[in-house]
Amino acid sequence: MATTDESIVLQCGDCTTLLRDVESDSVDLCITSPPFADARKSSYGGVPPDQYVNWFLPMSREVFRVLKPTGTWILNLKEKVVNGERHTYVIDLIKALREQGGIFTEDYVWVKPNSTPGKWPNRFRDAWEHLLQFNKQRHFAMYQDAVMQPRAENTAKRVRHLSENDCRRMKSATGSTFGKNNSHWVGREMVYPSNVLTLATETKNRGHSAVFPERLPEFFVKLFTLPGDLVLDPFCGSGTVGCVCKRLGRRFLGMEIVPGYVELARERIFSSS
């Protein structure tokens, strides 16, 4: 499908099929949030949890093929509750991707302070998701200095003056997990983040039910690519990763099966320039 900018390519169709036409060892970073099991039924049909791994593997084989040896894949997933317990499709998939040759380098956690409300007799609301990092080699490209952030104010001092309950509520006050109060960058000592990203979900209606906050792909694009590098999102939805790549000067290849979302992504990516 045609594009209006050679460095940003959007394709409409099934990504497993479309990926067959992508050159091997050409992608620096794949970052994607595939439809979770049983989710987004109205637009994607909803893959049953028990069939999720088998549904996933033909696609992942292509992703590993097109990824550069030094490239990275960041995969956003979350366990669904089925019959009162967390389903194992995510951990089954981790095992399967390792058998496909992937190296399970890290499990970043995305903490969502404004997660969907809800309380049930047996559980509280779900405020975190996986960001699984897979690689083809143990040595991969990583630019850690690009994601440094200011050190938080003296945490220990604050903790001492907080009540018991306030301490559990300190989500935005402490430490150097990524996404905390970054309001005063100037003149602050910079530190490396951790493997916990605390970022609120988008609350503005973007016409898509599962939109990344831009700072999430931005973190990984800066961490794993340089300007001019190629970023792939095989389930690009409304194009958040593409927007970030355009802004940061990375090339982007996005695939999406729902025509309406492709149009939405095109508008979002090219209207901002």
Partner DNA sequence: AGCTCTTATGAATCATTGA
Partner DNA sequence: GTCAATGATTCATAAGAGC
Q: Report 25-64 residues binding its own copies (CB under 8 A).
A: 42
Binding partner at 187 among DNA, its own copies, none, C-beta below 5 to 8 Å by kind: none
Query: What's the rounded Cα separation, in Å, for the pair 178 and 220?
Result: 11
162 binds its own copies (CB under 8 A): no
183 binds its own copies (CB under 8 A): no
Single out the residue of 40, 65, 36, 73 nearest to residue 52, CA to CA: 36
Indicate which single residue of 17, 86, 258, 263 sits in contact with its own copies (rule: CB under 8 A).
86
Binding partner at 271 among its own copies, DNA, none, C-beta below 5 to 8 Å by kind: none
Closer residue to DNA (CB): 21 or 164 = 164
Task: Please report, as a single letter, which amino acid is at residue 11.
Answer: Q
β-pairing, 251-256 vs 230-233, is: parallel
172 binds its own copies (CB under 8 A): yes
Binding partner at 100 among DNA, its own copies, none, C-beta below 5 to 8 Å by kind: none
123 binds its own copies (CB under 8 A): yes
Query: What's the rounded Cα separation, in Å, for the pair 162 and 55?
Result: 48
Binding partner at 179 among its own copies, DNA, none, C-beta below 5 to 8 Å by kind: DNA
Considering only residues 199-218, where is the footprint of its own copies by CB under 8 A?
199-200, 205, 207-209, 215
> What CA dihedral angle connects 169, 173, 176 and 181, to 10 degrees?
120
146 binds its own copies (CB under 8 A): no
- Residue reference for tokens 């850690």: 144
In terms of Cβ atoms closer than 10 Å to its own Cβ (0-12, 13-18, 19+), residue 102 is buried
187 binds its own copies (CB under 8 A): no
Considering only residues 218-237, where is the footprint of its own copies by CB under 8 A?
219
Binding partner at 128 among DNA, its own copies, none, C-beta below 5 to 8 Å by kind: its own copies
Q: Per-residue DSSP letters for 54-89?
A: HHHHHHHHHHHHHEEEEEEEEEEE-PPEETTEE-SH
- Asked whether the CA dihedral 189, 191, 197, 201 is positive or negative, the reply is positive
Closer residue to DNA (CB): 3 or 176 = 176
Other CB atoms within 10 Å distance of the CB of residue 28: 22
Site residues (vs DNA, CB under 7 A): 33-36, 39-40, 76-78, 80-81, 84, 112-123, 125-126, 129, 139, 151-152, 154-155, 157-158, 161, 163-166, 169-174, 176-181, 184, 188, 191-192, 200-205, 209-211, 235
- Residue reference for tokens 């001492």: 160
Indicate which single residue of 104, 249, 259, 267 sits in contact with its own copies (rule: CB under 8 A).
104
Other CB atoms within 10 Å distance of the CB of residue 178: 24
